[in-house]
Structure 1
Amino acid sequence: MINVTVWNEYLHEREPGRVAEVYPNGIHQAIAEGIQADDLRIRTATMDQLEHGLTEEVLKETDVLLWWGHMGHDQVSDEIVNRVHERVLKGMGLIVLHSGHFSKIFKKLMGTSCDLRWREVGEKERLWVVDPAHPIVEGIGPYFELPHEEMYGEHFDIPAPDELVLVSWFEGGEVFRSGCTYHRGQGKVFYFRPGHETYPTYYDENVLRVIANAVRWAAPRHGALPIYGHNQPLEDIRTPNPLEA
C-alpha cells in the first residue's frame, strides 16, 4: 500500500467564479478521487490547516506527496518547505503539478529560478510521449490532447531532467518539457505540466493516469540505506602514513 498526500493551497476555489465552478470541492479532492485505487491510501492537505496540513506525523506517514500551488507560493512557511525537502532527500516521492513549478519546494530542489513563458487563452495542448518505455506513461498512447489549457513555453529554467518523459506542443506554436523526472537524495521527483485551475484538466483520464503512474514510480523502494560520516576500513591498511614518517 502506497500512502499518498495530495497537497493544494486551496485558495482559487474559495473565490466566486470559474475555478469554484470547475472544482467545487477543490483541486486536491478532484485529484484524490481521480487516482483512487486499491493500492493507494490517499489523504489531502491544504495550506489553511495546522502547519499547512504537513505536520511531522503526516509527512512521516507519506510515501508520495503531490503539490499544487499558484497564488499562495509566498505564504508557504519556510519551515514546512525545509521539512518537505528533508523528507524528499530521505526517500519520499514528490510530484509537482502545473504552477507548482514556482513553489518554494520545487525551486529549492532544482536550485534554479524555474521560470518560463506563459499565455492563457485556452488553446489546445498536445502532449507527446517521448519515452514510451517509461512506467509513468504506461497505458498512454503516442500522445494525448487537452482541448483547452494555459500555455507554458521554453525556455523552462530547470536543470536538465534525469529523464524527459513528455513534451507539450501548443496551438500557438510553442513547445515545453512537460514531464520531467529527477532524483534528489533518496527521493524521486516528477514535474507534470498540465493543470491550470480554470480548466477541467484534473478530470481527464490521461492526466489522471499519468499522475497515478507517477505516484507508483515515485514511491520509495526500501533498499540498503546509505552510510555517511567517518568510516572504519573494511580491510587492513598497510600503506605507510606519510604524516607519521
Structure 2
Amino acid sequence: MTVVVKVGGARAVDPAGAIADVAALAGDERVVLVHGGSTAVDEALESRGVDPEYVETPDGVVGRFTDAETMGVVEAVFGRIRTDLVADLQTAGVDAIGLSGVDGELISGPRTSAIRIIEDGKRKIKRGDHSGSIETVDPDPLETLLDAGYTPVVGPPMAGQEDDGITPVNVDADRSAAAIAGALDADLVLLTDVEGVYRDPDDPATKIESVATADEWATLEASAEGFMTRKVMAAAEALDAGAPTAIVADANSEAPIRAALDGAGTTVHQEARES
C-alpha cells in the first residue's frame, strides 16, 4: 500500500505528529510526504516589507499571485521547509530524501504567466505570474526511491515548461499531492487544522464522515468554503486520476495518518466520482 500525505502550511498545523506517524508506518507502508508552506512564505515576504498578494479566480478559488520577487521567496522558504522535514524524519529513524517538482521534472506542466481573476466584481487578466498548471507527474523517481526503502519528501516549485526550456514555478501543494497520489494509485491524506469537511464550516459536529455517491459528493462540494475549496478540488483530481480514496483529516490529532486511514476525517471514495 502506498500513501501520499500532504502536511499543510497553516500556523495551526504541527507536523510533529505526521513525522512520528511516518516513522511508525515505515516498513509496513510506502509513504510520500508532500509539504506546503504558504504561511512561511507570507511571513518571509512581510519581513521584507512586502504584502502577500492573493487573487480570486472566476471559479471562486483564492490563490497566491506569484510575481518574480515572491517566486524567489517561495524557492528559498520551501527549500528550507523540505530540508527541515527531511532532518526531522532522519532523526525519527526514517530514510528520507527531499525533492522539488523540478528535480527530474517530477512535476511538470505549462507555466501560467497570465491568469484570469475577479477584481472589484469584474473579470480581469493579471500578467507576470510565476505559477503553473500540473500536467504530468513522473512516478518513476518516486517508485525507485520507495522500492529502495526511502521516504520521498516533495514540495514546490514544479518544472514550468516554456518555449525556451524549464523554469521553476509555484504550484499548489494540495494539488501536487493529488497529482502524485493519482500517478502512484495511492491513497491521499490531506492533513490540515480541522477534523474534516463540515456542512457548517463553523460547527465541527457537522463533519461529513464518508462520501461514496454522487449526491454525497454534491453535498461535499456545496459545503466547502475558503481554503477547503482547494482541498475538495484536490480530492477530486486525485480520485479522477486513480487514487482509491482521498481523506481530509486533522494534522494535530494523535497518530494523524493512521487515524485518517482508519476513518477519522472526511473520507471520499472513488465511487463518489464514478456514480
Shorter-normalised TM-score: what interval? 0.3 to 0.5
TM normalised by structure 2 equals 0.31
Rg comparison, structure with higher value: 1
TM normalised by structure 1 equals 0.34
Kindly indicate which of the two structures has a greater share of residues assigned to helix.
Answer: 2
